[in-house]
Amino acid sequence: MMEREVHTARLLARRSFSGSPLDFHLEFEALDLDRFDFLPGQFLSILSERARPDGRIKQETRAYSLASPPNGNRFDLCLNRVPRTENGAGFFSNLLCDLPIGDTIAFHGPHGDFVLRQPLSDCLLLGHHTGIAPLRSMLLHLFAPDGEGRSCGKHFHLLHTTETESALLYREQFERMAGEFQNLHYLPMIEVGRPESKPEIVNGAASARLLAEIATLLAAQPAIQTAYICGLNAMVAPVRARLKELGWDRKQIVFERYD
């Protein structure tokens, strides 16, 4: 098997969203690369060693979508804590959420094919919770101050679903961008019936309301030809099935599953 080149990056900054201890925006700088080149929407794989109960060391790897557009040797990640359980779940997300500023991570990448399809067409960008990360990378690239014309005048409909109001990550930024660009449409959606009192439980399932909302949007905007979907499979699978019921070809549906 081909050896993957492992790089090092230092955590420069971290901020939570709406003061929540569950969701974080992290900013890194690659230390051994002048430029970290990737396509908006791709992810990197982060490595860490973990001691097993029997004392042996196991190498753990998890994927994280790049939440920023290419920017020299800097990159952003966006992640949520997965609750820790007795059988060891939640190891990596908690490690990263609690990583001290100035500490380093080992990673390889970029990887993945969750990238904008060319030529661009009007599209639906659907992300659940931290599934917004690769979509943010795409939109910041398309609507960059120095990127005039990159969006080719196509319409981008960003539908961000979350369980709670506080998990509408980057809301102000998207609202600002949608106010500035006529062809960017921001549609935040809080799933009804999810308790704000238990925000650590993220199951990301697509509700009947979400599926209906998508059908309504596509009927009103027939020029939408591509859908980019990112989140847990409980959301991704039913949305893909619904789009196929609506007559979409699988090539029109680009998706990234977090589990």
Ligand X SMILES: Cc1cc2nc3c(=O)[nH]c(=O)nc-3n(C[C@H](O)[C@H](O)[C@H](O)COP(=O)(O)OP(=O)(O)OC[C@H]3O[C@@H](n4cnc5c(N)ncnc54)[C@H](O)[C@@H]3O)c2cc1C
Contact 76, 66 (CB under 8 A): yes
Cα 167–Cα 171–Cα 176 angle in degrees, nearest 5: 180
Per CB under 6 A, which region of 56-64, 180-188, 207-215, 237-245 contacts ligand X? 56-64
Q: Is the peptide bond before 69 cis (omega within 30 degrees of 0)?
A: no
Query: Among residues 113, 103, 115, which one has the least CA distance to residue 26?
Result: 103
Which of these, 44, 199, 60, lies nearest to 134 by C-alpha position? 44
Q: How many CB atoms lie within 10 A of CB 180?
A: 10
Shortest distance (Å) from residue 42 CB to ligand X = 9
Smallest distance, ligand X to C-beta of residue 94, A:
6
Interaction between residue 80 and ligand X (CB under 6 A): yes
Considering the rule CB under 6 A, would residue 49 count as an interface residue with ligand X?
Answer: no
CB nearer ligand X, residue 100 or residue 145 = 100
Residue nearest ligand X by beta-carbon distance? 259
CB of 137 to ligand X, least distance (A): 10
Asked if 255 interacts with ligand X (CB under 6 A), we say: no
Decide if residue 170 touches ligand X (CB under 6 A).
no
Q: How many positions of this chain bind ligand X (CB under 6 A)? A: 21
Contact yes or no for 14/27 (Cβ under 8 A): yes
The residue from 133, 135, 140, 158 that contacts ligand X (CB under 6 A) is 133
Q: Any idea what the Cα angle at residue 143 is, between residues 142 and 146, rounded to 5°?
A: 100
What is the contact surface with ligand X in residues (CB under 6 A)?
A: 43, 62-65, 78-80, 82, 89-93, 112, 130, 133, 202, 256, 258-259
